[in-house]
Amino acid sequence: MSDHLPQELLEEILSRLPLKSILICRCVSKTWYSLITNPSFIAHHLKKTAARNSGLLFFSYCKTEPCPPFRKNESYLLYPDELFANPVEELDCPCKGFKGLFEIVGSCNGVFCLSYGYYAPALWNPSVRKIVNIPRPNVTFTSHGFHKHSNGFGFDSSTGDYKLVRIVYLPDSNFNFDKIPPLVEIYSLRSRGWRKVDNDLKCVIPDFSTSAFLNGTCHWVATKPPNGPGVCDAILSFSLGEEVFGEMEVPDCLAKKYHYINVAVSDGSLLLVAFTETTEERCFSVWMMKEYGVPGSWTKLFNISHLANIRRFIAFRQSGEVLLVNRGEELFFYDPKTEEFSHTEIWGTPSSFYLDTLVESLVLLDEPNEFAEEEPSEDDGSSGVSNENSSSPDGVDMDLQKNNEGNQNANSPIKLNEANEILEEVASTCNSQMAIDKANEEA
């Protein structure tokens, strides 16, 4: 049946299939492989995927063993969104077990940006098991000595490109990091390289500030001179499309009272998470910018003053619960409505906890897997199977491009029959125009 489908209808049907089914269909023939790994099809599939919730949460953390040699055990898990109790799958991150701790800079469209101190980061899509190495930046410890840096990752919708921006602060002779103008460079997945970005930044991003991506823009909390490092009075932004910086004011009631302020994103809105701890008061407060870019739209969501041991805010859940880490390094839930909290019995390094909704996308499927565990085997001239542990559900990527011209079907009849059954289920009762019209109505 699949041999008789018009190209337009085939693309529309395939784009609506579950991701694992698409990966199976990729193994039917070189024609299907080329169609599914085509950047235009990947972008078309992403538009449909981004509009619906996968129902899965990506959750990662690291726990250090209490006894020598103090190994760091990293976990990358998928949880059902409706119940954060038992993981449905443990993901095999190619960077897992690396000496040191990988930080997740951010995620966008199912792609996670990993970073490891001064070392080069990488882009990872766990849904298709692809990881792409990012080359070392121009500003390194070797080239400039000790420095501080902040990263921001996101998607430039104007060019369809994924970008990583890096802001570097160099110390002066007195080891002050707010005297020398920062260096800014940006990496583009499309160009596969770093380049310098001119800037006139006057503010400094503190060490504890993480980045938040929203509306095509990366955000950080920053300090403007002549204020000291303990005053967070600005939100620094960087548009990935225009590649320019901007600033938004932090409300005075937060900047003057709270020692630590960070940014986050929830339900399409920018958040400020503020925390203070003095001998007189311990308070944790969360504010939301109801209208993006409008300073007067900051609204306090809730305060927590009766829990004195909060260490870090992790994320909001769709239920309205807040995921936090206490000073005992335990993850727990807090319900702002009932002011009750519940334990998860999950302990880990506070800075390692990361939670976000998983977007099951095909992004990076057309990229080479640069952190493969095994080298591809020589083509045997019959199956076209590679032992590279990369992107198909069973860990075997089909190297269909290496097949002989006469070998049109790249794998066994079982895969072909399975793909045909998938298509039959979706389109057996529709002719091409009816199916496309119905698909457009549902889009």
Radius of gyration of the chain (CA): 24
CA distances 162 to 117, 132, 154, Å, are 21, 12, 6
- Burial class of residue 126 (count of CB atoms within 10 Å of its CB; 0-12, 13-18, 19+): buried
> Which uninterrupted H or E stretch holds 33?
helix 30-36
Handedness of CA 433, 434, 439, 442 (dihedral sign): positive
pLDDT for the residue 388: 35
pLDDT for the residue 351: 87
pLDDT in tens, 130-180: 999 999 898 888 888 888 899 999 999 999 999 999 999 998 888 888 888
In angstroms, the CA 125 to CA 401 distance is 22
273 φ, ψ to 5°? Answer: -110, 115
Q: 3-state class of 90 per DSSP?
A: strand
pLDDT in tens, 79-101: 998 878 889 999 988 777 665 56
Structural domain spans, the chain: 2-38+366-442, 135-305
pLDDT for the residue 162: 97
User: What single DSSP character describes residue 351?
Assistant: G
In angstroms, the CA 260 to CA 232 distance is 7
Q: What parts of the chain have a pLDDT lower than 50?
A: 1, 279, 372-412, 427-443
In angstroms, the CA 275 to CA 259 distance is 6
pLDDT for the residue 381: 31
Handedness of CA 430, 434, 438, 440 (dihedral sign): positive
pLDDT for the residue 411: 45
Judge whether 398 and 391 are in contact, CB under 8 Å. Answer: no
pLDDT for the residue 314: 93
Q: Which amino acid is at 436?
A: I
pLDDT for the residue 358: 93
Q: Which amino acid is at 347?
A: W
> Which uninterrupted H or E stretch holds 20?
helix 19-25
pLDDT for the residue 439: 38
Count CB atoms within 10 A of the CB of residue 72. Answer: 18
In angstroms, the CA 189 to CA 42 distance is 15
The pairing of beta strand 269-277 with beta strand 282-289:
antiparallel
Judge whether 392 and 27 are in contact, CB under 8 Å. Answer: yes
Extract the runs of DSSP E, i.e. beta strands, from 157-216: 161-169, 183-188, 193-196, 212-214
Q: Under CATH, to which class is 135-305 assigned?
A: mainly beta
Quote the mean pLDDT of the chain. 80
CA distances 125 to 40, 69, 133, 336, Å, are 18, 31, 12, 33
pLDDT for the residue 123: 94
Q: What is the pTM of this model?
A: 0.82
pLDDT for the residue 73: 85
Judge whether 274 and 285 are in contact, CB under 8 Å. Answer: yes
